[in-house]
Amino acid sequence: MRSFQFGDRVLDLTCTQVMGILNVTPDSFSDGGTLYSDDRPRLDKILCRAEEMVAHGATILDVGGESTRPGAVAVSVQEELDRVLPVVERISAGLDVIVSVDTSSPEVMIEAGRLGAGLINDVRALGREGAIEAVIETGLPACLMHMKGSPASMQENPEYDDVLDEVKLFFKHRIAQCEAAGINKNRLILDPGFGFGKTVGHNLRLMNNLRPLAVSGLPLLIGTSRKSMIGAVLGRSVEQRLAGSLATVALSVMQGASIMRVHDVKETVDVVRMTQAVMMETIENNEGG
Which of 174, 226, 227, 241 does the annotation list as catalytic? 227
For the four alpha carbons of 166, 170, 176 and 177, in that order, the dihedral sign comes to positive
In the DSSP assignment, the letter for residue 125 is: T
CA–centroid distance for 270 within its chain: 19
Rounded Cα distance between 112 and 196, Å, is: 25
Q: Which of 49, 83, 198, 261 is catalytic?
A: 261
Indicate if 261 belongs to the active site: yes
Question: What is the C-alpha separation between 175 and 238, in angstroms, rounded?
Answer: 34
How do strand 3-6 and strand 9-12 relate by DSSP bridges?
antiparallel
Long-range CB contacts for residues 112-116, cutoff 8 Å, separation at least 24: 112/63, 112/84, 112/85, 112/88, 112/138, 113/7, 113/137, 113/138, 113/139, 113/140, 114/138, 115/85, 115/88, 115/89, 116/7, 116/88, 116/89, 116/92
Q: Say if residue 289 is exposed, middle or buried (CB neighbours under 10 Å; 0-12, 13-18, 19+).
A: exposed
* SS3 state of residue 61: strand
92 vs 7: CA distance, rounded Å? 11
Task: Tell me which residues are annotated as active site.
Answer: 227, 261
